[in-house]
Amino acid sequence: MKVVLDTNVFNDWKFLEWLKESNAEPLINTVTYSEYLYHIAKKIGNFEIALDNFETLLWAVGIQVVSFDVESARIVAQNVLGRWDFSKNARDYMIGSLAIKLNAPLLTRNKKHFEWLPEVYTPAEFMEKFGE
């Protein structure tokens, strides 16, 4: 089963260990990639070390990175109409668009930002529901 990860699940080491051993196929888009790389580079204070650490993490857990494309941009525009202020929540819409595109659940620690998606779980909920 494909699952889309929000940026904030990367701080949940218990979940990442579980995910590595699960049958789930974790994916992120390039928006999530940029957002998390920025956060760890800022925290570490060295871009190259942050990049190396993040790439190692992605490889170790088996997380695939998918480009944010025109189809995803269209999904964003369609889903943002009549909802939250796009300027404040653009990245969340961009991250969530991959879940719609793939018809996959999104995993996040902030479900409120993704109420517009049909299937959203916290890492704990996902492990409980799909644990092996």
22-60 per-position pLDDT tens digit: 999 999 999 999 999 999 999 999 999 999 999 999 999
Total tally of structural domains belonging to the chain: 1
Output the pLDDT for position 82: 72
Yes or no: say if 3 and 23 are a contact pair by the CB < 8 Å rule: no
Residue-wise pLDDT tens digits, 73-124? 999 888 888 766 667 788 999 999 999 999 999 999 999 999 889 999 999 9
> In 3-state terms, what secondary structure has residue 75?
helix
- Strand ranges (E), 47-105: 64-66
State pTM to two decimals.
0.93
Number of helices (H) and strands (E), helices first, in the chain?
Answer: 6, 5
Read off the CATH number of the domain in which 120 is found.
Answer: 3.40.50.1010
Give residue 124's domain range: 2-130
